[in-house]
Amino acid sequence: MSRWEPDARGRLLRAALELFSEQGYDATTTAQIAERAGLTKTTLFRLFPDKREIVFQGQGMLVELVTTGIEDAPAESPPAELVVAGLRALSGAHDQENREVGRTLDPIVAASRELRERAVFKRSAIVSAFEQALVRRIGDPRRAGVLADMGVRAYYTGYENWVADDGQHSLTDHVLRELAAYEDAVRQM
């Protein structure tokens, strides 16, 4: 594979996942990832500050999606519809390739303390973006915080179920099913 072929980020992700699966996260070096991807270490470090960030490269996009989904919802949308708009935008960007990445990545993250800590930071960034977008729309920080927490919990649980599911349901289907279950639980309080 030529060093000048497109999709360096995708190639680095695929190479990192292969190597992490083969020899573990801690035993894998950035030099090995770059070599497997057919790139130089300089290119890797131009794109990512470390090997951990190769795995979490989609965080910025997810934050932008949830923010845009809420901001673009119709002006008259009640808070529950704003949450659904954010979740649809967030989950609608995932396809079958993302499902396969999740199947490979989830056990790697579970086995690495460093990656688990980074995953918590990613989740926190998504919750924060969700909450801030809701505050701008509904004006109530307390309500926005609770709704953002519930929405992101629905997203993550729906994602876990989607990755494990071999059916034809989309991530959005799984996420909205989780959200409905949480809404039912809140009504029973």
pLDDT in tens, 131-180: 999 999 999 999 999 999 999 999 999 999 999 998 889 999 999 999 99
Rounded CA separation 174/157 (Å): 8
Yes or no: is domain 8-54 CATH 1.10.10.60? yes
Rounded CA separation 71/132 (Å): 10
Q: How many CB atoms lie within 10 A of CB 6?
A: 7
DSSP 156: H
Q: Tokens standing for 28?
A: 């894998």
- Mean pLDDT over residues 37-42, rounded? 96
Amino acid at 105: L
Closest alpha carbon to 152 in 67, 74, 95, 72: 67
- Mean pLDDT over residues 49-59, rounded? 95
The answer to whether residue 3 scores a pLDDT higher than 70 is no
Q: What is the pLDDT of residue 135?
A: 98
Q: What is the pLDDT of residue 5?
A: 56
CATH number of 58-187: 1.10.357.10
The percentage of residues in the chain with a pLDDT greater than 90, rounded to a whole number, is 90
Q: Residues 7-22: pLDDT tens digits?
A: 899 999 999 999 999 9
Q: Residues 55-80: pLDDT tens digits?
A: 999 999 999 999 999 999 999 999 99
Q: Mean pLDDT of all residues in the chain?
A: 94
Cα 19–117–186 angle (5° rounding)? 120
Ranges of each domain in the chain: 8-54, 58-187
